[in-house]
Chains A and B, each alone.
Chain A
Amino acid sequence: MAETIKLTVARYRPEEQSEPTFQSYDVPYNKDWVLLDALNHVKNEIDGSLTFRWSCRMGVCGSCGMMVNGVPKLTCAVPLTDYRPSEPVRIEPLQFFPVIRDLVVDITSFLGKLSSVKPWIIRDDVEATEVAEYRQSPAELDDYKQFSMCINCMLCYSACPVVGLESEFAGPAAIALAQRYNLDSRDAGAEERQDVLNEHEGMWGCTFVGECTKVCPKNVDPAGAIQLYKMATAQDWMKSMLLPWGAK
């Protein structure tokens, strides 16, 4: 008989339950599969009622984030062979998010936080691209490129205990995204974003646990973005206090 591995999956059916329970499924230990393939096997062959999000299957859409043995992971990027068939793999919805059903979480609050930092280029002199171009050197691109790789998978929110403790905290991805635009040579919106992020619920809520950076599947380094943001803000404040002409 082919080797199998046990998936212990959190189930939450709001019409039947007041809190989640676990259900186990034995799936083939297929060495070519990622964890998402194993979940799709459950969905297609064993239990069609299991609910989870997924789309691209190649680490781009950021939909299939889940807690795997207590660690936030993109299930499409985790080979099944990362786990031993002798031990069950525990799969839960992303922690610190409200659960809608089974492995599907409510991301409304995350989307609100994301848009609150104005993640777009802000400048007064915007002209149509047919008549104007906004050039950028490779070095200027390098300044923010790393922070632009975020796929909004929310693993960093699930890794951050501050998100769990303080629901108003803007969170790693939103602050990193703000920093992505602040560091863009074409942008002039840093001051507007400062109004949102120079707050306890903004960058100062971060206590530098650093787990957001460790779990990021795109090496965005949100912890780094937040600390750099803090440093720049603190330096501006010092200059405004010490220099007669202020921070400008």
Chain B
Amino acid sequence: MSNPSQAPTVDLKLYRRPMPFGWWLENGAYFRFIARELTCIFVGLFTVLTLELVQAVGRGPAPYAAFMARLEGSAYIAFSLLAFAAVLYHAVTWFNLVPTTVVVRLGGERVPDGLIAAAHFAAWAVASLVVAFIVLRG
């Protein structure tokens, strides 16, 4: 005898749409997200290049001069331009997301998102100016 308290079970033939390989091309927001993730590669590569520079400086004037000469090659200039664009995109998209991750309360009120993002952009501009001053000074 069947148990009346038990709901009848039904065999469902569910349809599961497979996730297409190009899922990130189907939606502008997904594409921008993947673009942001891919710019990490350039951020990483530029960091490696900077570490190499530090290493060259540590080795003395001749290795440093050789490293700087290498950077003047057209391939490195093209890479630098590409990396600059990628880092710029990465930084801007991340700073725009910061208000979601940082909640600041002043006097019981939540600081508006726009102000938090603006503060980060301002700090970035100040840091860039300081670096530019140090580099271009001499």
Interface positions of A (Cβ within 8 A of B):
12, 14-15, 18-20, 70, 95-96, 98-100, 106, 139, 161, 164-165, 207-211, 213-214, 221, 223-224, 227-228, 230-231
Contacts and interface: CB of A to CB of B under 8 A. Distances in A.
Interface residues of B, number: 21
A15 B14 CA distance: 11
B101 interface: yes
A161 B27 CA distance: 10
B72 to A, nearest CB: 38
Contacts of B19: 96, 161, 164-165
B23 interface: yes
B15 A227 contact: no
A213 B29 CA distance: 12
Given A14-B13, A106-B14, 9 more contacts: A14-B12, A96-B19, A98-B14, A98-B15, A165-B19, A207-B33, A209-B29, A211-B29, A224-B101
Contact of A213 (B23, B27, B100): B100
Contacts of B100: 210, 213, 221, 223-224, 227
Given A20-B15, A99-B14, A227 B101 contact: yes
25 contacts: A14-B12, A14-B15, A15-B13, A20-B15, A96-B19, A98-B15, A99-B17, A106-B14, A139-B108, A161-B19, A161-B23, A161-B24, A164-B19, A207-B33, A209-B29, A210-B29, A210-B33, A210-B100, A211-B29, A211-B30, A214-B29, A221-B100, A223-B100, A224-B100, A224-B103
